[in-house]
Amino acid sequence: MSQKSIERRGFLKTMAASSVLLTGSCSFGESNLKDKKLESDNSILEKVKLAMLSMQRASWEQGVAAQALLEIGDIDTVYLMAKEAVLRQTPEGRLSVLYSDNGITDPAASGEMVLKMVEKFGDKELVEANKKMLEYLLQTAPRSDSGIIYHTINSPEIWIDSMYMAPPYLCVAGFYDECFKQIEGIRKALWNDEAKLYSHRWHCIDKKFINEKFWGVGNGWAVAGLARVIDDLPESKKSMKSTLISYVIENLDSCLKYLRDDGLFHNNIDDKNSFVETNLSQMLAYSIYRGIHSRWLSESYLTSANKMREAAYSKVDEYGFVNDVCGAPFFDSPGRATEGQAFFILMESAYRKLIQK
């Protein structure tokens, strides 16, 4: 990549230039009304992107932000974020780590964007970083007796967040059996077969839940992570793909039973006393649009997805912040978060790919 290219299409683009760029790449119809709607949506999307890039980011946040830009097609910015992820790589291989970050699987969220930049540009620094991240996941990352990678260094726990962080990267890197093994292990620890939802955290040594609640964003991580894996598995893995599709549909159907009239969910899906938040709606809408586009999910889900997308749009303020997501840094109240910004972009990218099909 040339310096000139980076300067031309870097992340400090003007709003007007971005609207022209996005309008030129999308076919939303020819009427003046549709053109105006597209222009408005492009403006909102660019504001959300710039607000996201303004945020301080932990390892998983760097990863999900870059994944959003990768899927929307902003390759130059993804390259810059990949270089930063590598700058912050630990000696054992964890990407995007800031100071006291204890994540084991979270750093793998940056894996796909580093791998894709390796494939596109062949940058030697990225090649080595990708190798180190994969070796860490496959060989040295702390894990349970059954080989399931722990979520954090400081406690032998399995979190549902990991369903998004590591398996998609392992899949695009070609380690299909290990990807599927991790998914099955996480599911075994956290899936509630009666509720058809995932609990949040399981302690592998004490054999008990640290948090048994059905956290909305946690179930969103699961659905979105599996949607990515389903799309990236080769045809030779039809049995794996079929199993994962059944997992997504089962989880998705149960989540949608709790969808509110306003298109949002409670933070703990089945608990009306927990606060109402925005991000699960974005995560599910993204997964639905992806599934319909790839033809492994029925178009009957489109009405729900569009309702959730509309709800997400209603939460974007004049600065581009997606409000009332499960908020950083503690994720115990409605607020703002990098992942909330990123999933708006992911949702919009998947939506646009679907309607252009």
Structure tokens at 119: 């494939």
Find the helix packing angle between 176-190 and 238-256, rounded to 10°. Answer: 30
What percent of the chain clears pLDDT 90, i.e. is strictly above it? 89
Mean pLDDT of 315-323: 98
CA atoms within 13 A on the CB side of 224: 31
- Alpha-carbon span 35 to 22, nearest angstrom: 12
What pLDDT is recorded for position 31? 66
Mean pLDDT of 39-60: 96
Q: Is the model's pLDDT at 25 over the cut of 90?
A: no
Residue 275 DSSP code: P
Q: Is the model's pLDDT at 194 over the cut of 60?
A: yes
Sort strands 191-192 and 208-211 into parallel, antiparallel or unpaired: unpaired
Mean pLDDT of 154-175: 98
What pLDDT is recorded for position 357? 78
Confidence of residue 274 (pLDDT cuts 50, 70, 90): very high
What pLDDT is recorded for position 30? 53
Is the C-alpha dihedral spanning 273, 274, 276, 280 positive or negative?
negative
What pLDDT is recorded for position 19? 35
What pLDDT is recorded for position 33? 81
Confidence of residue 16 (pLDDT cuts 50, 70, 90): very low
Q: pTM to 2 decimals?
A: 0.91
Q: Which residue has the tokens 């039973």?
A: 257
What pLDDT is recorded for position 75? 98
Q: Is the model's pLDDT at 102 over the cut of 50?
A: yes
What pLDDT is recorded for position 356? 92
| Cβ-Cβ contacts under 8 Å for 166 (sequence gap 6 or more) | 105, 108, 111, 137, 149, 182
Q: Is the model's pLDDT at 50 over the cut of 70?
A: yes
Q: Which residue has the tokens 């919009």?
A: 348
Alpha helices in the chain (DSSP H): 3-9, 15-25, 32-54, 59-72, 75-87, 111-121, 124-135, 162-165, 167-172, 176-190, 216-232, 238-256, 279-293, 302-314, 338-355
What pLDDT is recorded for position 18? 38
What pLDDT is recorded for position 34? 81
What's phi and psi for 196, nearest 5 deg?
Answer: 60, 40
Mean pLDDT of 32-56: 93
Mean pLDDT of all residues in the chain?
92
Mean pLDDT of 138-164: 98
Q: For 140-151, what is each residue's pLDDT tens digit?
A: 999 999 999 999
For the domain made up of 3-355, give the CATH fold.
Glycosyltransferase (1.50.10)
Q: Is 261 exposed, middle or buried (0-12, 13-18, 19+ CB in 10 A)?
A: exposed
| Cβ-Cβ contacts under 8 Å for 14 (sequence gap 6 or more) | none
Mean pLDDT of 50-57: 98
What pLDDT is recorded for position 28? 45
Residue 277 DSSP code: E
Mean pLDDT of 224-231: 99
Confidence of residue 22 (pLDDT cuts 50, 70, 90): very low
The CA angle 342-200-171, to the nearest 5 degrees, is 55
- Alpha-carbon span 281 to 283, nearest angstrom: 5
Confidence of residue 200 (pLDDT cuts 50, 70, 90): very high
Domain ranges of the chain: 3-355
| Cβ-Cβ contacts under 8 Å for 210 (sequence gap 6 or more) | 157, 200, 201, 202, 203
